[in-house]
Structure 1
Amino acid sequence: MYLAVLAPLSAPDEVSHFISSYRLSNTILGQPAADGKGHVYIRTQDAFVLDTDLNPGESLAGQEETKDTQVLGQTLTEHTYRKIHDTGLSGTGTQEMETTVKPPVETTPLAYLPQALGIVLGRLLGLGGLGLLYLGRFGNLLFFAGITWYAMRQLPFGKEVLFGVTMLPMTLHLAASFSYDAMILSLSFLFSAVTLKLTYGAGNVRKRDVALMAAVMGVLGPCKMIYGVLLGLCLLIPVKKFGNGRNWLLSAAAVLAVYAGAMILVNSATIAQYAAETESFVGWAGESGYTFEWVLHNPVKTLRIFYNTILEKGDYYHLTMMGNWLGNLDQVLDVPYVVILAMTFTLFFLAMKKPGGETVYLAGGRRAWALFLCLACVGAAMFSMFIAWTPASSSIVMGVQGRYFLPFLPVFLMALKNNWITLTKNRDRELLFFLVCANGYVLLRLFSIVSIRI
């Protein structure tokens, strides 16, 4: 339902993710992906999704260079729904290609494989631009649902917690979009589930388990480097589960080698650029920014900026993690705070110990380590945006959004279960049903807002 109510290209950065998926679809079909300038080829009949003033079949013809084109779904209004209704899914039958200056995301192509396969199917079926958008989104949603379902099967405990996180408005919005966050979320959930299964399960670690962890990190790491911190979850697994210390070292080396190799292949240039530069320029602010060198010489000031950021932006992180503003963080497309608060308490209740519930959970040193890793992920997210997005005139870190915390939210919630707080009744089914009903209300509210928004 989120796929339909929140129109294509409405999610954060979804235009760039769509262009990246389209580029990969060109490669899969054996066609040129981009021109010499890196501009991605798209069908002329699909150009109208990047400029809603056009009709299907009309060319962009350099309009992107001369004006700010209105991308479909970037601002959701009644006109968006009308455009979708009037255009339909059918194509014009022409296969003429042109380029767009909209930039793709430079990351591993695997992050866009589900979306690209949906676009390929749409192109083979002769569908138009909207058909490609919906099939690409649907492919991403299918991947998210399949991997998350498998992650739930792997979890030794906390299945209801993971399900609760997947039912948050922001999670569902991202899963039903072109965003590579759908892959990041599902693979993070899977990696967490596998490590917890190997930690608390009865069996020993097999080669296939090590291969699975390595493969997941090999895809996940290059998408968002900050989630490499989740590799620390492997340290929860007892050494005896590997048979001996030698096998543990070989397994750790294999996972790290795949992760490091993927990072070098995809992100080596970016890492080298940020590590070597002594001056930086933040384009959106039009001024200089912070660098690694500045951080090394000013550790106390850096910590003070991070502390001020938590104080000033903590509520914003919470709201944008849960989905208080949907679309492209459009404050008109809001979810009432009381609903967000109710969903937050629901997640905490799902995480608490209860009669007839699971007796195995993160405790002692393992709980402390899991919470430390969650805190480290928050720090990594803030540090990355501090270097890449924050102007030197700012006293807080800019650019961090709450959705960056969703990949490790299930682990954080599972680590909260303890013997001190116990619910008197097991109400998990009712709590999960509430989340379903709350999402129904959110969808009706959003549809109503967009339908009357001019």
Structure 2
Amino acid sequence: MFDSRFFIKYLIILLLAVGGSYFIPPMQSPDENQHIAKAYLVAQGDWLLTTAPGKMSGGYVDDGLRDFIQGHMQLSGRPDFRLPPQEKQRLRSLAWSGAENRSFMEIPGTGFYLPLIYLPHAMAIKAGELAQLSIHHTYYLTRIFVMAIAIALMLIAFSLHRPGTLALGILLLPMGVFQLLSPTLDGITTSLSLLAVSLFLGFQSKPQRPATFYLLACLLILIATTRIHLAPLLLLLFIIGWQQKNRKYLGLGLFASCFTLFWIVFSIKTTVDNRIPRDISSLEALRYYVIHPVDFAQVLFNTVTNSEMMYFYFQSFIGKLGWLDTNLTLWHYPVFGTCLILFALLNAFAPFNKANHAIARSSLAATALLSVLAIFTALLISWTPHPATIVHGIQGRYFIVPFLLLAYALHGLFDVRSRAFALAGQLLLCAFFAFSAFSLLSTLQSRYSIF
């Protein structure tokens, strides 16, 4: 699995990613400011958030880091604003203030994620502190380290199970690449999800060691407690347990599900998040829609039939960069959409893989659909004022992993072993990569004018 070609691919992709990330200033991915602050807290051993009187949940963050975050946040939502040269220099020279100079920072959005997901970020931040690097250099060390781990996980997943053209096309979209190049959680969670799917499909083709199932269970717990809408992935553990007729596997699946449910309830109960004014709590909203399913169906119907919402989902799935304040060139969106349709056709008309039998396909497809439903449910009860008419707060990038699951489910649906199809797919992917890179980098260059 880890031959010389693997490492060559890894180094090439990593170098391209590092080069591309240079076009993105710090704190320009949604909630990146909160994620970096949370990672700092984890690096200091503060795993859970606290709540100061009259404030939302957060923690005590180094004053130098807070200054670095706030300085770069001046760019967010202001497409015409540029940091003056002296401000750039000041931010680059900021040093750590030390444990005695920490002040409270509200970061409620991170309270719902299991802190373990921040370990890569925290390790890099701690290394930067110990090496007495500036905050600027520590930040870029963190970005590269997190990026390197995400890319490595992705390539390991691909070495275990080869993805189809549709999955690769989705991953190459400007939105997914932008998130991979930013030190948030999207790159890590997407890579973990791909690895989990590859491990699951490994069980469909040949017997696996129990250690592989335990690894899969740990991955799915980490994913489900970080991206609640991906909790349906836990069903894969029960599918394997049922297929193997293994009670231990079924028991571990039950434990993973119970732990995930515990964390969701615990995080909702202990996190104070008043960013969206609401008269009822998230748990109360969930209870209401469980008792009134017709109201839930009506809100869902109103949302998916709203043309403006659907177009926003489409745009932010393809690429709506920065804090949703940076669009690609308008004609790029239909081009990307057309390419995805072609990828879907090439993906379906591909050689059949014995791991993708009917049970595996239906399991992945059902998980994808449940994840989509979970997106609407989670944002309805947590980010939408009650009573609701449509669901607020959903971004197209939330659908990336569910669509990847569908891509895996539909790969090789029609067993066509054609060299012409394979060659067409490879050529289209190469052209797509070039166009996506051009679209992403030209948009970033125009938006941030780094050079």
Q: Give the TM-score range, shorter chain.
A: 0.7 to 0.9
How far the C-alpha of 1:422 sits from its partner, in A, is: 8.8
Counterpart for residue 112 of structure 1: 118
Q: Which moved more, 1:84-93 or 1:333-342?
A: 84-93
SS in 1 for 2:222: helix
Counterpart for residue 292 of structure 1: 286
Identical aligned residues as a percent: 19
Work out whether 1:389 is the aligned partner of 2:416. no
Identify if the C-alpha distance between structure 1 residues 137 and 344 changes in structure 2 by more than 3 Å, giving closer, same or farther.
same
CA RMSD in angstroms, aligned pairs only: 3.5
Structure 2 matches for 1:369-448, cutoff 5 A?
369-417=363-411, 418-419=413-414, 425-426=421-422, 427-448=424-445
Indicate conservation of the 8 Å contact 2:364/2:409, yes or no.
yes
Identify if the C-alpha distance between structure 1 residues 343 and 112 changes in structure 2 by more than 3 Å, giving closer, same or farther.
farther
Identify if the C-alpha distance between structure 1 residues 87 and 162 changes in structure 2 by more than 3 Å, giving closer, same or farther.
farther
How far the C-alpha of 1:108 sits from its partner, in A, is: 1.6
CA deviation vs aligned residue, 1:211-261 (integer Å, no higher than 9, x gap): 111111221221122212012234554856x3xx2xx22112113314423
How far the C-alpha of 1:143 sits from its partner, in A, is: 1.6
Counterpart-to-counterpart distance in 2, 1:282 and 1:101 = 14
How far the C-alpha of 1:209 sits from its partner, in A, is: 1.3
SS in 2 for 1:291: helix
How far the C-alpha of 1:440 sits from its partner, in A, is: 2.2
Gaps of 5+ in 2: 1-18
For residue 44 of structure 1, what is the amino acid of its counterpart? D
Match of 1:99 among 97, 103, 113: 103
How far the C-alpha of 1:159 sits from its partner, in A, is: 4.9
Q: Which moved more, 1:413-422 or 1:365-374?
A: 413-422
Indicate conservation of the 8 Å contact 1:10/1:76, yes or no.
no
How far the C-alpha of 1:141 sits from its partner, in A, is: 0.9
Identify if the C-alpha distance between structure 1 residues 435 and 92 changes in structure 2 by more than 3 Å, giving closer, same or farther.
same
- Structure with greater helix percent: 2
How far the C-alpha of 1:365 sits from its partner, in A, is: 5.0
Match of 1:168 among 173, 177, 187: 173
How far the C-alpha of 1:333 sits from its partner, in A, is: 5.6
Counterpart for residue 268 of structure 1: 265
Counterpart-to-counterpart distance in 1, 2:174 and 2:50 = 35
How far the C-alpha of 1:300 sits from its partner, in A, is: 1.5
For residue 226 of structure 1, what is the amino acid of its counterpart? H
Q: TM-score when scaled to structure 2?
A: 0.81
Indicate conservation of the 8 Å contact 1:27/1:33, yes or no.
no
Counterpart for residue 133 of structure 1: 139
Aligned length: 418
Work out whether 1:44 is the aligned partner of 2:101. no
How far the C-alpha of 1:379 sits from its partner, in A, is: 0.7
Q: Which moved more, 1:227-236 or 1:418-427?
A: 418-427
Counterpart-to-counterpart distance in 2, 1:33 and 1:310 = 35
Identify if the C-alpha distance between structure 1 residues 410 and 79 changes in structure 2 by more than 3 Å, giving closer, same or farther.
same
Work out whether 1:23 is the aligned partner of 2:15. no
Indicate conservation of the 8 Å contact 2:65/2:96, yes or no.
no
Q: TM-score when scaled to structure 1?
A: 0.80
For residue 101 of structure 1, what is the amino acid of its counterpart? M
Counterpart-to-counterpart distance in 2, 1:358 and 1:399 = 38
Indicate conservation of the 8 Å contact 1:352/1:422, yes or no.
no
For residue 146 of structure 1, what is the amino acid of its counterpart? A
Counterpart-to-counterpart distance in 1, 2:278 and 2:439 = 37
Counterpart for residue 187 of structure 1: 192
Work out whether 1:3 is the aligned partner of 2:14. no
Identify if the C-alpha distance between structure 1 residues 126 and 346 changes in structure 2 by more than 3 Å, giving closer, same or farther.
farther
Work out whether 1:121 is the aligned partner of 2:121. no
Q: Which moved more, 1:111-120 or 1:361-370?
A: 361-370
Counterpart for residue 9 of structure 2: none
Identify if the C-alpha distance between structure 1 residues 77 and 422 changes in structure 2 by more than 3 Å, giving closer, same or farther.
farther
Gaps of 5+ in 1: 54-69, 275-280
Q: Which moved more, 1:341-350 or 1:294-303?
A: 341-350
Work out whether 1:367 is the aligned partner of 2:370. no
Counterpart for residue 351 of structure 1: 347
How far the C-alpha of 1:296 sits from its partner, in A, is: 3.0
SS in 1 for 2:27: coil
How far the C-alpha of 1:84 sits from its partner, in A, is: 7.6
SS in 1 for 2:26: coil
Structure 2 matches for 1:150-229, cutoff 5 A?
150-155=156-161, 157-199=162-204, 201-202=205-206, 204-229=207-232
For residue 412 of structure 1, what is the amino acid of its counterpart? L
Counterpart-to-counterpart distance in 2, 1:239 and 1:35 = 44
Identify if the C-alpha distance between structure 1 residues 216 and 83 changes in structure 2 by more than 3 Å, giving closer, same or farther.
farther
Identify if the C-alpha distance between structure 1 residues 239 and 261 changes in structure 2 by more than 3 Å, giving closer, same or farther.
closer
Counterpart for residue 62 of structure 1: none
Counterpart for residue 10 of structure 2: none
Indicate conservation of the 8 Å contact 1:144/1:186, yes or no.
yes
Counterpart-to-counterpart distance in 2, 1:365 and 1:33 = 41
CA deviation vs aligned residue, 1:35-93 (integer Å, no higher than 9, x gap): 9766533333333323329xxxxxxxxxxxxxxxx545564556248468534745547
CA deviation vs aligned residue, 1:170-225 (integer Å, no higher than 9, x gap): 212222223222222111111111111111x23x1321111111111221221122
